[in-house]
């Protein structure tokens, strides 16, 4: 048994863990990194990267069959599903070296390809190694949650982890779960030629603003995706190629393949956290505002910390931990400026408070500003005019922004900056956007906030009248 002492021990080589390891070692700390599966974690291998690559394949196919509006004849795309999956794996392969064991060992990180588990408050065992660290960072991420639906364990089903091994295109894909993962994969497969039915127990895209979700859902239904809401799965039966999902009200949906996409579970079961005095709840590991656990020498970041489950949040958490555990500086994680996006077409993005949350928190002080894509010239030129931006403003500052439309995931970047730095709407309005760009949507939204104050104010008109009489 080898005993190792180090400054920082990172458990999990997903995006958050890798960021901590790279930052800490380059600042001079000694770092040990534990990973018993794939370097890069869920994001690289099963989540963000492969899903966006398959979405790109679907977009290419859709473009061929819907180009007539641009003066280019529609054609029926010849989709090779296996080749699309090769494209997915090719993208992963291009990114892999950045997350590889070789790269991190080159930086000076000791990488041990074993699962870590606590054997005391200060020790972690990984294979034949016992590691004692000044600080431990748990970054083990999450896995697909598989609900206890009767019959599901006897039927072949896919999750976001196993979908990427499928080489034959589903004739009819059933998707249990109408959240971001379910809707993204539903649209990608529909555009590649599969029939698709989404089965959602409550409301599809239910965590987003209903007004914005409606924009996306109308488009998805228009592409031929059957979206069944208030359809709680009660039983699954059948066999490979012939699967049935019966919902609580008796409706039965039939398909060839089944994708289960109903959420995520934190990866904490094999860590023996109780031996380290680390508290957990249903969402994951309990942390304070500085991402420390009930064991003050241990941090938890990313999905396993029970908050927003996004790769960029894990990266943000990594920066907080580096500041605290490596530099010894005070650092607290905030959530108000953390954006999220769903990469359907049109996209759906949000940062800060939703309209409902802002009304509850700010009451009559709240002003809601809307600007529709149909008034953006670039959106019209691209035939992408379905969508809108909605900005929740209190005393001249945005407290939340929701966007549904073309490039919403790109547009939300500006508003994350605005909320992170408590900028005023006037500062956004002062920005000059090149014409014609989709980015003008942001500036025009800020302009829509000031328009009533400038063009509908009797006081402004009186002042202008006086100025005009006195100007030489």
Helix/strand/coil for 341: strand
The distance of Cα 443 from the centroid of its chain, to the nearest Å, equals: 25
> Which tokens is 455 given?
């063009």
Asked if omega into 436 is within 30° of 0 (cis), the reply is yes
Any binding-site annotation on 6? no
- Give the residue carrying structure tokens 């907080």: 320
* C-alpha–C-alpha distance, residues 467 and 459, integer Å: 12
Edge-to-edge strand order for the sheet containing 172-176? 226-228, 195-199, 172-176, 257-260
Which has the closest alpha carbon to 259: 353, 157, 344? 157
* C-alpha–C-alpha distance, residues 89 and 59, integer Å: 17
Q: Is 382 left (phi over 0), alpha (psi -120 to 50) or beta?
A: alpha
> Which tokens is 3 given?
């005993």
Any binding-site annotation on 142? yes
Any binding-site annotation on 224? no
Any binding-site annotation on 140? yes
* C-alpha–C-alpha distance, residues 411 and 415, integer Å: 8
What count of other Cβ atoms lies within 10 Å of the Cβ of residue 38?
Answer: 15
What are the distances in angstroms from CA 125 to CA 8, 75, 161? 15, 58, 27
Any binding-site annotation on 374? no
Any binding-site annotation on 244? no
How do strand 129-138 and strand 123-126 relate by DSSP bridges?
Answer: antiparallel
Any binding-site annotation on 303? yes
For 209-364, where are the alpha helices, taking DSSP H only? 210-222, 311-321, 355-362
Any binding-site annotation on 178? yes
DSSP secondary structure code for residue 35 in this structure: -
Any binding-site annotation on 182? yes
Any binding-site annotation on 28? no
Q: Which residues are annotated as a binding site for NAD(+)?
A: 177-184, 200, 263
Q: Which residues are annotated as a binding site for FAD?
A: 52, 116, 140-142, 303
Q: Which residues are annotated as a binding site?
A: 52, 116, 140-142, 177-184, 200, 263, 303
């Amino acid at each position: 048994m080898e005993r190792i002492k180090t400054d920082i021990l990172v458990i999990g080589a997903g995006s958050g863990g890798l960021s901590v390891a790279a930052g800490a070692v380059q600042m001079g700390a000694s770092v040990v990194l534990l990973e018993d599966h794939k370097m890069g974690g869920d994001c690289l291998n099963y989540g963000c990267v492969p899903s966006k690559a398959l979405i790109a394949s679907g977009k290419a196919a859709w473009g061929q069959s819907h180009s007539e509006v641009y003066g280019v004849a529609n054609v029926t795309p010849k989709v090779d599903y296996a080749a699309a999956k090769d494209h997915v794996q090719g993208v992963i392969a291009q990114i892999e070296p950045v997350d590889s064991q070789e790269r991190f060992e080159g930086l000076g990180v000791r990488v041990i390809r074993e699962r870590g588990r606590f054997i005391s408050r200060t020790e972690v065992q990984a294979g034949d190694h016992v590691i004692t660290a000044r600080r431990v960072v748990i970054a083990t991420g999450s896995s697909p949650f598989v609900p206890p639906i009767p019959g599901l364990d006897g039927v072949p089903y896919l999750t976001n982890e196993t979908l990427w091994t499928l080489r034959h295109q589903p004739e009819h894909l059933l998707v249990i779960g109408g959240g971001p993962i379910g809707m993204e994969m539903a649209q990608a497969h529909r555009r590649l030629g599969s029939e698709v039915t989404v089965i959602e127990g409550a409301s599809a895209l239910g965590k987003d603003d209903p007004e914005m979700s409606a924009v996306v859902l109308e488009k998805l239904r228009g592409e031929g995706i059957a979206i069944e809401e208030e359809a709680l799965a009660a039983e699954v039966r059948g066999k490979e190629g012939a699967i049935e999902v019966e919902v609580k009200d008796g409706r039965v949906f039939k398909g060839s393949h089944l994708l289960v996409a109903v959420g995520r579970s934190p990866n904490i079961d094999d860590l023996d956290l109780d031996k380290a005095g680390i508290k957990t709840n249903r969402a994951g590991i309990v942390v304070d505002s500085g991402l420390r656990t009930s064991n003050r020498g241990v941090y938890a970041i990313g999905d396993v910390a029970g908050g927003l489950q996004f790769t960029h949040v894990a990266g943000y958490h990594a920066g907080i931990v580096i500041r605290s555990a490596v530099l010894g500086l005070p650092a607290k994680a905030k959530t108000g400026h953390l954006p999220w996006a769903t990469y359907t077409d049109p996209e759906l993005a949000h940062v800060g408070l939703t309209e409902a949350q802002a009304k509850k928190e700010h009451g009559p002080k709240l002003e809601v500003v809307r600007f529709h894509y149909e008034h953006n010239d670039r959106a019209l030129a691209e035939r992408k005019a379905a969508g809108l931006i909605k900005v929740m403003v209190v005393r001249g500052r945005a407290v939340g922004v929701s966007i549904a439309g073309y490039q919403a995931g790109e547009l939300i970047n500006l508003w994350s900056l605005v909320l992170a730095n408590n900028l005023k709407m006037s500062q956004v309005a002062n920005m000059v956007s090149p014409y014609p760009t989709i980015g003008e949507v942001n500036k025009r939204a800020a302009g829509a906030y000031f328009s009533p104050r400038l063009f509908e104010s009797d006081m402004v008109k009186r002042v202008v009248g006086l100025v005009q009489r006195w100007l030489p």
